Structure 1
Amino acid sequence: MSTEAPRFQVGSLVSARGREWVVLPDSSEDDLCLRPLGGADEDAILIHLPLEPAPSRPRPATFPLPNPAKAGGRASGLLLRDAMRLKLSAGAGPFRSFGHLGVEPRAYQLVPLLMALRQEVVRLLIADDVGIGKTIEAGLIARELLDRGEIGRLAVICPPHLCEQWQSELATKFHIEAAVVRSGTAARLERGLPQGQTIFDHHPFTIVSLDYIKRPNRLDDFARACPEFVIVEEAHGCVLARGRDRQQRFELLKRLAQDPKRHMVFLTATPHSGDEEAFHNLLGLLDPAFRELGSLPEGEARRRLRARLASHFVQRQRADIREWKDSTVFPDRETREVTYQLTGPWGELFDEVLRFARAMVKRTENASKLQQRMSFWAALALLRCVSSSPAAAAQALRTRLKATLEGPEAQQLEEIEALAADTVLDGADDQSLTADETVPAGTTEEAARDAKALQDLIARAERLKGEAHDPKLALLRREVEGLIAAGFRPVVFCRYLATAHYLAAELQGPLGRKGAVVDVVTGELTPEEREERIAAFAAAADGKVPVLIATDCLSEGINLQQHFTAVVHYDLVWNPTRHEQREGRVDRFGQTAKVVRALMLYGANNPVDGAVLRVILKKAERIRKELGVSVPLPADTNQVMQAVMRAVLLSTGAVKDTRQLRLDFPEIESADRQVETLWQSAKEKARATRTIFAQARLRPEEVLPEWEKAKGVLGGAADVERFVKAAAEALGAPLHERRDGWRLPVDHLPEALQEQLATLGIERPVQLVFDRPGPSGVLHAHRAHPLVRALAEHLAERALAEEGEIAARCGALFTDAVATRTLLLILRLRTQLVVHKPDAAPRHLLAEECVVARLGRDGPPVLLDDAESRRLLSAPAAKDMPPAQRQRFVRAALELLTPRMNDLAALASTRADLLLEDHVRVRDAAIGRREQRGYRIDVRPCLPVDVIGLWVLVPVQGVL
């Protein structure tokens, strides 16, 4: 295939196969990529010119002027203009990508994009707080660079549980179809590849699991074929020096970052967790010089380096977003703690299990290190499970912790430590939170010899199932009923599978009688199945309140803000990062509720809960309130929790004394002081980091002008709402206002449009909102939503084909809105941008915009701003104008316009120059250096200008 300049200019009109088309940038000398004149990019076709029959071979075409005989009514002008604007995908303005987005970003989310565009090679660390929208911010950068022709491939490197989320986000929000590369998909992706090619050679867009890529042979393949743009999710977990896996990840990222032309964006909500080495390793991936900040003394050199780093580092908390005066972004989070008492049979069982656990530990005091550790882990598992539920307690008592009996004792000890830490605790550190939800082994071989005592404990635990004997379950039921009564939709998080299924079974009946429906989602389902289950569950609630019981498989990877508005911590987590992640699934960007609630249950006289609260969770919450963000636990969570629980297990006091939360044991006091000291240090480091880089971030006054300019070209939320309401009414399906938005009776729309919407899954009357994402079942009609695009394309196609008066191309009316006869032109301007790089063939881009100009008898046409064009196109008629008179006014206007096409060409040239200015301005920091190496952009207006519509406004004064 030839790669020379296309025979037809990009953006020009051609006639082929009985209709008119626009030439798209992917064309070449032998192949034309064409979009129907009134259609969308999705309708594009590719014509191979050497095989095209001569009669249908493409030839130049011109766009016809409006037909006076098809003049329309008063409202059709504004409807046509709005339809033409909202269907644009290759819009003009400062950003090339906004027409390709499936999401309407908030203005504050443009900050990382503008920072990236001011760098010649993008190296950016986005460290915004949880829930602000880092995925959207990174996707905006990727989409913009793709649409500017600066990259052609990209890869996302992320933990395995986030692969599907990234795949969905890229596809739905940025129209980037990426392949997930991990152990379960690699064989299928490799099947049929040409000899010598890897997955990364063949697929331009990939999402790569860290677990898959860490093997040396795969790492080498990826590093060799790595795309020119890389996004690294959870980047903080890849830069720790300790741990073989983390060292491999860090070496991979260092290798990728060594390519001076590779664009890289790193995402993390916790860039600095108290580990100075890890933090400076992360900064060094942006530029090796930034690692020196770890050792460079205070002085001018350090200040200069820190100032340079500020242009590569954006870190904001929710308080920083408030200055954008966007009140629709985040809800208020109300937190509350509720307690239950370990009393009666339940308290007696807890006492017996605690005695049993202590006996296991004491029995091995003089045994081998392996036996001691096995007893400790089994005892700790029992304490955790009995604090969770009778179901988890019974299962833990039945399950024995066994050594492998193979290999030296040191190796067996290492394996036991790793296994037990993963099942009993919540991860070795904040970068490796466990995904194991099975109930851990709660006994050892030696303990199991006392079969009678063990069977008695199991039987007692089984008998305590149910609200009559389980005060924790009874408290949960009352609190969930309260949340439902207050209008909340709760998700209940628990630690173990056994507890999750127990709660679902026990709550189904009582909550069902209160108008709720209960379901359970655990790690037994794959990530895809979890997402499908939640969506189906929310959709099938059918007016009832959905209550979801979940394990921590949902604390990462699946966002719940569209379905749920409250979080209940049924089991306390032993890692504050996991605690915040749970609440962050609901309290995040896109939550429709103004208030979300977080409820934490714990035993008031449970020493396990008391120790976790005192040493970890209370401190984490205090620091979060002080700083506005979470700071990870600045020490190995395992070591801290083991020290705390050892104190509970080895206390010499009576069991019932221990249950009175007398947590002043020396071991707990020591762990508490150690954690307090470390956490205070981490807090101050986090505060200092935020203070330094907050001073350099872009402010609203620097970003909003670009934002408003982009909306002015393509249309914003207000334009969408006005258009959808007007279009629905004109098509015979007016919107009906409801308590939670608007109702569109889809079945009243024209049959052809109904068929088109059915292919998009919209077949029944739908609920709409315009200003922000709606709750589950309510559609957010933003400019890129398929419903809005379908309405715009339907009306535009009918108007361009001049079928009917709904969105006619011309008209005339008497009005008081003007003092002299005024001719308004709706123009479609098409501009070709040609990007020249020294090491690549020229890249052809197409930009389109729909503008309104006023044309007088003398002088050039005057471009109207959005407000003035809306005012005139929506001007009310002061009196009726007969159809014959309307046609005469339109014909006279066409006679005035025909000899003035050169004036419109001059207008198009001026707009092309402004487009180049916009295109370059947001890249101004990098453009000068690039021009020195032969990088330049040319613009060419596509002529003649398309006159989409023509309206004549005639003043009433003086008209007989």
Structure 2
Amino acid sequence: MGASSPTAGSVLIGLTQARLLELARGLGVTLPTSARKDAQIARLLEAAPLALPGLLGHLYRDELRAACKDHGLPADSRARAELARHLLTAAGLPPTIDVTPPPPTAVGPRDTPAPGDVVVLRRRTWLVDAVHPPIAPTDATRVALLCLDDDHQGRRTEVLWELELGARVLSERDHGLGDAGQLDPPRTFSAYYNALRWNMVTATDARLFQAPFRAGVHLMNHQLTPLKRALELPRANLFIADDVGLGKTIEAGLVMQELLLRNQIDTVLIVAPASVCPQWQREMSTRFGQAFELYNRAFVQRRRQDRGFGVNPWVTHARFVISYQTLRRPEYKEPLHQMLREGRRRTLLILDEAHTAAPASSSRYAVFSDTTRVVAELAPLFDHRLFLSATPHNGHSNSFSTLLALLDRQRFTRGVPPSARALETVMVRRLKADLRGHDVAHRFPEREVLALELTTPDAPELELARLLAEYTARVAPSRGRDRLAFINLQKRLLSSVPAFCRTLDKHAPGTAATGAPPPPEPSDDDDDDLDDELRDAAEATADAARAAALPAPDATAADLLTRLRRLALQRRELPCAKVEALVAWLRANLFTAPPGRAGRATSAAPTWNHRRVIIFTEYGDTKTYLVEQLAAALGLADDPDERDARIATFHGGMSDDQRAVVQRAWNGPPDEHPVRILIATDAAREGLNLQGYCADLFHFDVPWNPARMEQRNGRIDRALQPAPVVRCHYFVYRHRAEDVVLDALVKKVATIQRELGSLATVVQADLDRALARGIDATTLAALDGVAPEAVRVQVVTAELETQRDRARIERDLKDNARILEVSRRALDFSPALLRETLTVGLELAVDLDGAEPLAEADGAPGTFSLPALPATWQRTLDTVRPPREHDEDLWDWRRRPPLPVVFEPPAQLTEDVAHLHLSHPVTQRILSRLLAQGFSARDLTRVTALVADVAKPVALALARLSLFGPGAARLHDAIIDVAAWWDEARRGPALRPLDDADTQPLRAELDAHLHAAAKAPPQSIAKALAHGAAADFAALWPALEHEADAEADRARKMLATRARTEADAMRELLSAQEKSIQHELAGRAQLPIELTDPRERAAWLADTQAMTDRLAAISAERATEPERIAALYDVALTRVTPIGLVYLWPGKPGKPDREARS
């Protein structure tokens, strides 16, 4: 362009069209994307009065340099302000533009801080959040602070400023390294540098991950999709609707971890079924390094003992797991609401088995359950929400839309069908079938559903079934809730004779009375976590009350009932045909040699192999019966200790500790944990990991609810199942009519799971209804006739199946792999490099007295032993000890040695080793010492020298740029570097920084050779370098500040672009929601005539009112919500801190450990 005078138009012509469009959006101008560049520039200058000084403030440094070159002006300056002055002077304009905002740390010396200042006190660095002046002259100034140190970041505190010894406001004069008496060894500096790099985050690029490297998980590619989606949202409101066994817990944990790292959340609440609460607590601790408390009666009692009855237990910790049942209780729910309403911010709610909170299904219109009401009150109080469910849709559109509105009320409205576009943003939905054929397919086993046929025609169970069918035909009502007593008798008989006896004993006396009031309807929120004995007893009592309401049976019916009772009592303690077949299978598959004949104990000790099997039953009575029968048949009856060691049970009413003990033993190595048989009720059917060493499962009774069978099967058919095939067995009496029906049920369920995908939930509900009258001569035909109802199929297809786009899933998998690799390179992370870093950290943190920090275990490659550590490490070492036994004393437990540690994630579930990942408490404690260099710790001089492949000596100065948002949330981190050629004659102020082109290859040399095996130059050279290091760094610091300013400007513009994009998206979202509500309300002129149930009519009216209320709220939110989202990306503080100085000395560099750099 030559030396022409710069104008706004001549500068704009040097920008790309993509940059022009971005610049125009920032100025509120819409440009035609297909127009020529000169037409776009003309439109921009016409729509926005853009003079040259204003334009230059919007340009990046590289764009300013390019404009200077285009106009024949000097373009080699690092300072944006200087480049802008060249252009303004050439244009004949006053060079008064300020494109470099002063750093917030640049304050003059004064006594009292102001908001936004950075201060140093208590050997830490803090951001001043608020200052409260003294009320009286004798009072002190109260200052609210947020910690900026990496090892304590985001922690809040308040101090009385004048009473703090040594407190001072940090000024820009405080930058520097101080005098370096000696150089740090390269391996030590490398560990320090790694710790800093691994702790960096950025919100400018949502596609850079940290959490996968801070989790002890055997990561699967598909598990990154929810993380990617969450980071694209201003608030992480996400519905993870993956299939059973795909790892929803891990996916939610990754999202949680990333939000914690980015300081977007402080408080996390996990709500889950009671049976999986201990597992959630354990998974969050071992896999993500996060300590969660189980919120239950015992926890509340402990807190009150420690802190008094006046304290709200919810404010004493920041991470909780609570069960749905506990959350429904007012004494636990109301203090939680109080805490959240009093201003607790940066909160995350994780709702496991979220379908529990959906309005309950009925024939035409779903209605609120108690759990729906509780979650509807709680969810809006959280900033971020993650919902997890493999069965998110029950076929009712209003139920699904309500669940989605609980997740994100700005995208979804109760009663309004969700759009596919809105769902695509917040829902992740994959079935195992969708992932097969991709690189993750080999991680999931094939499932075989196997029937064990029982062909005995004269089994007593068959006679009992015949008598019961005849009795039911004579006495039971044809429909209505009084028929439920007879249905329960049938279900219990199909489970076991003892289960049948309990209800029959209650039923028989009940039939003698008449006119008894009917029992209450079962609650929508009843579940399987109640004590089995109590649940069975309550069910039997309810059945007796129903029987009492019936007319007295005639003589024939009474005789049938007597015969039923007599035969049942005779058989209740004897093995049935199912038990005999099960014992035969156990002998053939769990032993290397048969222990004896059926029903007899043997003196020969059984030789167990390493296989395990789970046996599911619906009833506690059947569970007890199975324990007794199997113990007798396998020779365990006379040795209670051996019986308890080999046969475990899992049932409702167990304490959290008991559940954890069972699950730990079940997933432990078979040569260390002798348990081989787990007999479980449906309390174990949801969410539990039971696949560690088990690939076989039996349904001793087939659940009439098909969804329960799928949930049971999911305990072993899930991720991290080491076996290629899992086998799910069930029993079929070929001569019992009821079994023919149940066999057809199992086969139909398998077919719909395979063929219908998400529609399976709709058909399963229909199958459940087909069995609602019990099993009789008409049931088989009813099952055969079950097909998805056309309307409900259309609903589920439109609202859920659209999220299973195979092409999109494939794109996501490829994208995930690419992002993970880019993130890995950005962090330069590998397990071996972490091991090197922790080795150095241990050497700095404690006196090892010559011991090796991490000695490799004998005969176990990749497994290491921690050294003996001081008593101050006890609480940290608790996280790597073997699990504590229920009755083990704390001090006895702490005398047990820590587990061996590994750095590669184990390929299967195990508790025999501890995986040290970046967020493990042991790792965090060791790295915190490195992260504190220059702040609270002084182990390093932060100056080193290493031999590298360079032509002459180089001084490379490093600094870290950090941009903080509201509440000290880190928005962006970057490492800044400036290099200069070095020689003895020209050092200190004489150093001349190199330009970017010359610095980049030198930075690459640093990255390539700064490792544990790096070579240091001779001692004489090292002493000379150390002597002038402080002056060298001071000479390069101004150039570092200019580089940091350019990077901060780039990051601020990217953050502003993201803020603008997300704010605009929220405006569009609210407009689309407004239109969808108006459209739905237009079709709700009157109550549908087919809704005859009062509860359904009330639910319909409530949904309509909710739409009206939401419509009124949108107007206000349109003015506030976009600004709230944009404010998340406001930069409150820009901070540049020294990292250190590295000298590169010419020579032959040391060779790195290939494994560490892989």
TM-score normalised by the shorter chain: which range applies?
Answer: 0.7 to 0.9
The 5 A counterparts of 1:156-555 are 210-211=324-325, 231-240=350-359, 242=361, 246-247=368-369, 250=372, 264-283=385-404, 286=408, 305-320=419-434, 325=439, 330-343=443-456, 347-364=458-475, 374-386=485-497, 392=499, 400=507, 403=510, 412=518, 415=520, 437-438=532-533, 441=540, 454-464=565-575, 470-481=580-591, 488-504=611-627, 517-535=646-664, 543-547=672-676, 548-555=678-685
Whether 1:859 aligns to 2:988 is no
Q: Give the match for residue 785 of structure 1.
A: 920
- RMSD of aligned C-alpha atoms? 5.6
Match of 1:692 in 2: 802
- Partner Cα distance (2:769, 2:788) in 1: 13
Structure 2 match to 1:621: 750
* Structure 2 CA distance for aligned equivalents of residues 789 and 402 of structure 1: 65
**CA displacement, residues 351-391 of structure 1 (integer Å, 9 cap, x when unaligned):** 332233234324526999888664454244223324xxxx5
The structure-2 alpha-carbon separation of the partners of 1:876 and 1:54, relative to structure 1 and needing over 3 Å to count, comes to closer
Matched, 1:950 2:1142: yes
Residue among 883, 888, 904 paired with 2:1019? 883
| Cα shift readout 1:624-655 (whole Å, capped 9, x = no counterpart) | 223566822443555422456223xxxxxxxx
Distance 1:466 1:137 in 2: 43
> For 1:58 and 1:258, how far apart are their aligned partners in 2?
39
Report matched runs for 1:897-916 at 5 Å: 897-916=1033-1052
Give the drift of 1:901: 0.9
Gaps of 5+ in 2: 1-110, 133-141, 594-606, 844-850, 882-896, 982-992, 1068-1120, 1150-1158
Say whether residues 1:775 and 2:909 are aligned partners: yes
Equivalent-residue separation in structure 2 for 1:849 and 1:332 (angstroms)? 42
Worse overlay, 332-341 or 751-760: 751-760
Deviations 1:746-776 (A, max 9, x none): 23x5658965743544443514251456432
| Partner Cα separation in structure 2 for residue 852 and residue 688 of structure 1 | 50
Show the counterpart of 2:950. Answer: 818
Equivalent residue for 1:744?
Answer: 864
Q: 1:905-934 deviations in whole A, cap 9, x for unaligned?
A: 223334434554665666663145677677
> Quick one: distance in 2 between partners of 1:215 and 1:800?
47
Distance 1:616 1:688, change over 3 A: farther
Helix, strand or coil for the counterpart of 1:271?
A: coil
Greater relative contact order: 1 or 2 (C-alpha under 8 angstroms, separation 6 or more)? Answer: 1
Q: Secondary structure at the match of 1:559?
A: coil
From 852, 858, 864, give the equivalent of 1:732.
852
Task: Kindly indicate whether residue 802 of structure 2 is the aligned counterpart of residue 673 of structure 1.
Answer: no
Q: Distance in 2 between matches of 1:741 and 1:527?
A: 35
The residue identity in structure 2 corresponding to 1:952 is L
The answer on whether the counterparts of 2:151 and 2:932 sit within 8 Å (CA) in structure 1 is no
SS at match of 2:863: strand
Q: Which has the higher strand share?
A: 1
Once the 2 structures are TM-superposed, how far is the Cα of residue 217 of structure 1 from its aligned partner?
12
Checking the alignment, whether the CA contact within 8 Å between 1:745 and 1:765 is kept in structure 2 is yes
Cα contact 1:824–1:852 (8 A) shared by 2: no
Q: Against the structure 1 CA distance between its residues 498 and 369, is the aligned structure 2 distance closer, same or farther, given a 3 Å change threshold?
A: closer
Inter-CA distance 382–123: structure 2 relative to 1 (3 Å threshold): same
Cα distance between partner residues in 2 of 1:938 and 1:254: 34
Q: Shift of the alpha carbon at 1:265? A: 4.5
Aligned to 2:57: none
Q: Partner residue of 1:845?
A: 969
Q: Does 1:602 align with 2:728?
A: no
SS in 2 for 1:337: strand
| 1:349 aligned partner, one-letter code | P
The CA distance in 1 between the partners of 2:374 and 2:653, in whole Å, is 32
- Deviation at 1:899? 0.8
How much does 1:873 deviate?
1.2
1:873 aligned residue: 1010
Structure 1 stretch displaced more, 367-376 or 854-863: 367-376
Mapping of residues 524-673 of structure 1, within 5 Å: 524-535=653-664, 543-547=672-676, 548-561=678-691, 564=694, 566-589=696-719, 591=720, 593=722, 595=724, 597-603=726-732, 605=734, 607=736, 610-611=739-740, 613-626=742-755, 631-632=760-761, 633-635=763-765, 639-643=769-773, 645-647=775-777, 667-673=778-784
SS at match of 1:856: strand
* Separation of aligned partners in 1, 2:278 and 2:780: 44
Within a 5 Å distance, the mapping from 1:99-138 to structure 2 comes to 108-119=222-233, 124-138=238-252
Alignment partners' CA distance in 2, 1:185 and 1:76: 43
Report the equivalent of 2:77: none
Q: 1:462 to 1:743 in 2, by over 3 A?
A: same
- Give, as a single letter, the amino acid of the residue that structure 1 aligns with 2:909: P
How does the TM-score come out when normalised to structure 2?
Answer: 0.63
Bigger Cα Rg: 2
User: Relative to structure 1, is the Cα distance of residues 498 and 788 closer, same or farther in structure 2, using a 3 angstrom cutoff?
Assistant: same
Distance (whole Å) between structure 2 residues aligned to residue 581 and residue 211 of structure 1: 20
Structure 1 residue runs of 5 or longer lacking an equivalent are 296-301, 423-427, 648-666, 836-842
Identity value in percent:
20
Residue by residue over 1:849-900, the C-alpha shift from the partner in whole angstroms, topping out at 9 and shown as x without a partner, is 584846123325746799764422139668x853223322444665533311
After superposition, what is the alpha-carbon deviation per residue over 1:528-560, rounded to whole angstroms, capped at 9, x for unaligned?
531244336656966245433322211125433
Separation of aligned partners in 1, 2:565 and 2:853: 69
- Structure 1 residue 829 corresponds to structure 2 residue 1021: no
Q: Which residue is 1:41 aligned to? A: 152
Alignment partners' CA distance in 1, 2:903 and 2:737: 46
CA distance in 2, matches of 1:142, 1:49: 34
| CA 1:625–1:322: 2 relative to 1, 3 Å | closer
**1:937 and 2:1130 correspond:** yes
Within 5 Å, give how 1:40-79 maps onto structure 2: 40-41=151-152, 46=157, 48-50=159-161, 52=163, 54=165, 62=174, 65=177, 69-79=181-191
Q: State the TM-score, normalizing by the size of structure 1.
A: 0.74
Aligned length: 884
Over residues 170-195 of structure 1, what are the superposed CA-to-partner deviations in whole Å (9 max), with x where a residue is unaligned?
Answer: 67767777777789988999999999
Give CA deviations for 1:120-179 in whole Å, capped at 9, x if unaligned. 566544322223344454555566667767677666565555555556666776777777
Report the secondary structure of 1:635's partner residue. Answer: helix
Per-residue deviation, residues 327-374 of structure 1 (Å, max 9, x unmatched):
78x432342415152539xx5322332233234324526999888664
The answer to whether the 8 Å contact 2:279/2:660 transfers is no
Check conservation: 1:559, 1:586, Cα contact below 8 A: yes
Partner Cα separation in structure 2 for residue 688 and residue 758 of structure 1: 52
CA drift of 1:525 comes to 0.8
Whole-Å separation in 1 of the counterparts to 2:835 and 2:374? 50
Higher mean alpha-carbon deviation, 692-701 vs 365-374, is at 365-374
SS of residue in 2 equivalent to 1:472: helix
Partner Cα distance (1:889, 1:308) in 2: 60
Q: Decide whether the 8 Å contact of 1:336 with 1:599 is kept in 2.
A: yes
Whole-Å separation in 2 of the counterparts to 1:518 and 1:920: 61
Partners of 2:112 and 2:752 lie apart in 1 by 61
Q: Deviations over 1:593-632 (max 9, x none)?
A: 2636233131352636733543322122122223566822
Partner Cα separation in structure 2 for residue 481 and residue 728 of structure 1: 49
Change (3 A) 1:133 1:565: same
In the aligned structure 1, how far is the partner of 2:411 from the partner of 2:177? Answer: 61
Q: Distance in 2 between matches of 1:912 and 1:43?
A: 21
Output the CA distance in 1 between the equivalents of 2:1131 and 2:387: 32
